[in-house]
Amino acid sequence: MIARPLDLASRLQPAPRSLDVFFYVNVGLIALFFALFGSPFVLAPGLGVDFRIPQVAGARTGAASVTCYLTVMNSGQILGGDGLLNWSQLEAWLKAKTAHDTHASLLIRAGADVPSATVERIISMAHASGFSSVIWGAEEPPSSGSGENR
């Protein structure tokens, strides 16, 4: 009696005898929800908060519109419009993008700490796949004392 002063076990509902239909309906709806509305970015790692694009003076004057883009991080992750890509998937992705557009252009948003050899490899793959132009993205450095925020 001292070990169970509130006698909570007598107030609990009895355990269900079997799994009813609603359990299976709920599991089916959850699976359907993830199949229809799932994203490749849900379980894939994304960009960290410390991702920085290099700053180059005159970057805005060289700005151009592009048809697709890649984000490259120093950890070796390459993020395209379809999610995380490895090197073999990247080559297929690049060829698929140029198959639909003869004047395709690519923007490579590489982090400031990504080696230039990695970006050069991607640029070579893009030109071999048929991209008409490849742009290595950069940001304009903040101007000192101008007071403008763009």
Secondary structure (3-state) at 76: coil
Tokens at 92, concatenated: 């297929």
Q: Average pLDDT of 124-136?
A: 90
Q: Average pLDDT of 85-97?
A: 89
Q: Is the separation of the CB atoms in 97 and 104 below 8 Å?
A: yes
Of the listed ranges 12-26, 36-50, 89-103, 121-135, the one predicted with least confidence: 36-50
Element (DSSP H or E) covering residue 100: helix 87-100
Which residues are within 8 A (CB) of 98 and not within 5 positions of it... i.e. 6 or more apart? 104, 129, 130, 131
In this structure, whether the domain defined by 43-141 belongs to CATH 1.20.200.10 is answered with: no
Q: Average pLDDT of 75-103?
A: 86
Q: Has residue 47 got a pLDDT over 80?
A: no
pLDDT category at 150 given cuts 50, 70, 90 is very low
- pLDDT in the model for residue 123: 92
Which residues are within 8 A (CB) of 23 and not within 5 positions of it... i.e. 6 or more apart? none
Domain edges within the chain: 43-141
Separation CA 97–CA 109 (nearest Å): 17
Q: Has residue 145 got a pLDDT over 50?
A: no
Q: What percent of the chain has pLDDT over 70?
A: 82
pLDDT category at 48 given cuts 50, 70, 90 is low
